[in-house]
Amino acid sequence: MIRFDSDYLEGAHPAILQRLMETNLEQTAGYGADPYCQAAAEKIRAACEAPDAAVHFLVGGTQTNTIVICSLLRPYEGVLCPDSGHINCHEVNAIESTGHKVLAVPARHGKIRAEDIARAVLAWQNDAAWEHIVKPGMVYISQPTETGSIYTKAELTAIRKVCSQYGLPLFIDGARLAAALAAPGNDLSLPELAKLCDIFYIGGTKSGALFGEAVVIPNPGLIDGFRSIQKQRGGLLAKGRLLGLQFDTLFTDRLYFRLGEHAVKLAMELKEGFLKKGYPFWHDSPTNQQFPILTAEQAARLRRDFSFEDFGSARQGRRIARFCTSWAATEEQVRCLLEKI
């Protein structure tokens, strides 16, 4: 059985485990006040060309999204978000548990447009009963999106502009950022992305780490009390150096980027293989999630040897399948799959 269900099926890149072994008996201060976190933050600042950025290390994505969003909103504000956004669909009521409404905006393959944001803000501003309506207080998007698509530089620049116009902080969920950076057609470098948003995170869990997400705040004055809120929300790891060590390793010799490139390269081979055999696709994803459309019979046959996600119904009784590649996937695994389709 070869699994393509997700990109968090394995442990960590061997270089990370190696570092954990080497440093295991060192004694360091807790909660991120250690030299590894410091070194990792420095490397991330350099990679982002954001020399003043605050960098915080957290354990997982839901935790990160919750802490960032509740740190940025006033009590009566909500967060604009694609209706397919992770915070709207797959994090239970994490955001609502902090008192805020997720303001879902209809998305197309995971993406919203600058004009969608403007429309939502104007609808609130122009409503006579605006005091009775949640105010859009910030914008959450994902790069790549939950369905593998990516924002172009032009699209993100337009979103940035409308956010600035209406005073909305822009937050980018980068759980799979490595895949976006490696995507064919991507025209957004990490420094450019850092310049176009107010806060984002670099996902480790889905890109070679055991766990861990690195929040980057280019303007470090954006949020007051981030670490206390991190602690309050259970997101301040006691042995914080585990996060520092992992990100320090990932940002040494471009490992983070190389792992993304590996995953995307295999995803492209997988896509090519399906396309060659004539399979239709739900949409043309340039990242490590691929969505071929299968008949019930095709899906059942493949499930004998492979696992993958069912992503909903398509036309004529078919189903959308999701195949994920990752830093740990191998050419061999993809070849096996393509042989069976």
Site for a second copy in 79-98 (CB under 8 A): 89-94, 96-98
Task: In angstroms, give the least distance from the CB of 155 to a second copy.
Answer: 27
Cβ atoms of 81 and 104 within 8 Å: the answer is: yes
Beta strands in the chain, from DSSP E residues, in sequence order: 2-3, 54-58, 77-82, 102-105, 135-142, 170-173, 199-203, 213-217, 289-290, 293-294, 306-307, 309-313, 319-324
> Whole-angstrom Cα distance, residue 232 to residue 187?
38
Residue among 231 and 276 whose Cβ is closer to a second copy? 231
SS3 142: strand
Residue among 129 and 316 whose Cβ is closer to a second copy? 129
Region of residue 110 (phi > 0: left; psi between -120 and 50: alpha; otherwise: beta): left
Closest to 7 measured CA to CA, from 213, 296, 209: 209
Residues touching a second copy: how many (CB under 8 A)? Answer: 79
Beta strands in 94-134, from DSSP E residues, in sequence order: 102-105
Is 158 an interacting residue with respect to a second copy (CB under 8 A)? Answer: no
Is 220 an interacting residue with respect to a second copy (CB under 8 A)? Answer: no
Task: In angstroms, give the least distance from the CB of 257 to a second copy.
Answer: 21
Q: Which residues contact 118 (CB under 8 A, 6 or more apart)?
A: 162, 165, 166
Cβ atoms of 341 and 323 within 8 Å: the answer is: no
Within 262-321, which residues bind a second copy (CB under 8 A)?
A: 309-310
Within 8-67, which residues bind a second copy (CB under 8 A)?
A: 8-12, 14, 17, 20-21, 23-31, 59-64, 66-67
Task: In angstroms, give the least distance from the CB of 156 to a second copy.
Answer: 26
Is 135 an interacting residue with respect to a second copy (CB under 8 A)? Answer: yes
Q: Which of 43, 71, 107, 267 binds a second copy (CB under 8 A)?
A: 71
Q: Which of 51, 129, 316, 317 binds a second copy (CB under 8 A)?
A: 129
Task: In angstroms, give the least distance from the CB of 161 to a second copy.
Answer: 23
The mark string for 162-201 relative to a second copy (x by CB under 8 A, - otherwise) is ----------------------------------------
